[in-house]
Amino acid sequence: MANPVPLIPGEVVQPPAKRSRHDLDTIIAETDGNVNAVERSSSLWFNDGNIVLIASGVMAFRVHRGVLAYHSTVFDDLFQLPQPEEGELMDGCPIVHISDRPVDVSHLLHALYDGPGFFKHGQLLPFGVVAALVELGYKYHIEAARAEGLQRMRTCFCNSFKAMQATQWIDIKKNNETGGMELGLISSSLLVILSKHAIRAVNLIRVIDEMEMLPMALYLCTLLPVSALVPRTTTPAKRVHILNEDDLVRCLEARAVYAVRDSKFRERLWSTDTFNDVCAGLGDCATIIASRSNFEAENMVVASVRNPLGGYEAAIREQTELCSGCTEELLTVQREEIRRIWQRLPTDFGLEVPHWDWTL
């Protein structure tokens, strides 16, 4: 087969130090020795492959030692260890058991085999794919996968106001029998579905110690219902991402803070005090804004889940009878209110983030 290509062309990665046998043993998962019931991957089972990875005891990938060793110093070290004469075989190939989720292993292997083609320019990748690259990139010392994943993560889990303003909140149709919509966040290269990805993002960021991404990840968790935040029991085979106790408390307390902040946001947004100098509507705009202000006051219910960083641009644009000056002023007030909330985001969660940027 052809020599594998680097994930990111031209990137030079300094390999980490060799691992000891003890370190490598922590990578390899325990197994009951029964491989007959293991499902074979339909897309990552190469007839000329010479090694089989079995993920979580349920999914097998027949791949090439050379490809794994080329990209991963962990696998390279592993393959250089003496192998038992009567080791496990599957279709004549040695078996390596790993504890990672099959879907994550599949994402990583596709990235390794597809190379730069896996990361098409301008293509959104779901967070689940990116998280697999980052998590397994760290675990197996695959620097290019880790770097690509981190670059994409930082576009949504950002630490600057400008980067946050470049993201977009979207409603996504649920892919289940109940239907309905759920909240998502997209950037130029990443799609985050809050119900599926927010908690995993927090846990992954803590594992890789990239604290500048943590405030935004925790904020996304505050937008989840309490039932999604509070740990629940599940079967051992079904993994559920849960927050640690400290992060759970942070999110529950912040929900109340943001509910109040959002109410103050709407109150200031629809105030008529700041529009006298910009209005060209000859009094009509003041009436429209006063009407909206009264509506907000009469319906000022502090909801359990609010998204003040999402703003109210749609509501502003709905006021089609406003003059252009007042519309722009509302958008300016909105941006400043969002920036005010963004500035305090780390401290709202009790975090110290040295390079938190709230400049325009």
Q: Which pLDDT tens digit goes with each residue over 158-172?
A: 999 999 999 999 999
CA distances from 233 to 198, 236, 237, 238 (A): 19, 9, 12, 10
User: Is pLDDT of 11 > 50?
Assistant: no
Closest CA to 67 of 33, 97, 28, 111: 111
Output phi, psi for 94, to 5 deg: -60, 150
> What are the Cα distances from residue 288, in Å, to 145, 274, 279, 317?
53, 14, 12, 13
Burial 247-275 (b: 16+ CB within 10 A, else e): bbebbeebbebbbebbbebbeebbebeeb
Please provide the average confidence, as pLDDT, over all residues in the chain: 85
> What's the pTM?
0.85
pLDDT band per the 50, 70, 90 thresholds, residue 27: low
* Residue 348 CB neighbours (<10 A): 18
Residue 5 has a pLDDT of: 39
For 90, the enclosing helix (H) or strand (E) is strand 89-90
Between helices 194-208 and 214-222, what is the axis angle to 10°? 150
Q: Tell me the C-alpha distance between 125 and 102, whole Å.
A: 18
pLDDT bin (cut points 50, 70, 90) of residue 37 is confident
Q: Are strands 93-98 and 51-55 parallel, antiparallel or unpaired?
A: parallel
What single letter denotes the amino acid at residue 197? Answer: H
In this prediction, residues 250-261 reach a mean pLDDT of 93
Q: Please tell me the predicted confidence (pLDDT) of residue 83.
A: 76
Determine the longest span between alpha carbons in the chain, in angstroms. Answer: 90
CB 41 within 8 A of CB 61: yes
Instruction: Give the CA angle between residues 146, 11, 133 to the nearest 5°.
Output: 15
Whether pLDDT at 76 is above 50: yes
Task: Say yes or no to pLDDT of 267 above 90.
Answer: no
Taking a C-beta distance cutoff of 8 angstroms, is the pair 167, 155 a contact? yes
CB-CB contact of 69 with 79 (8 Å):
yes
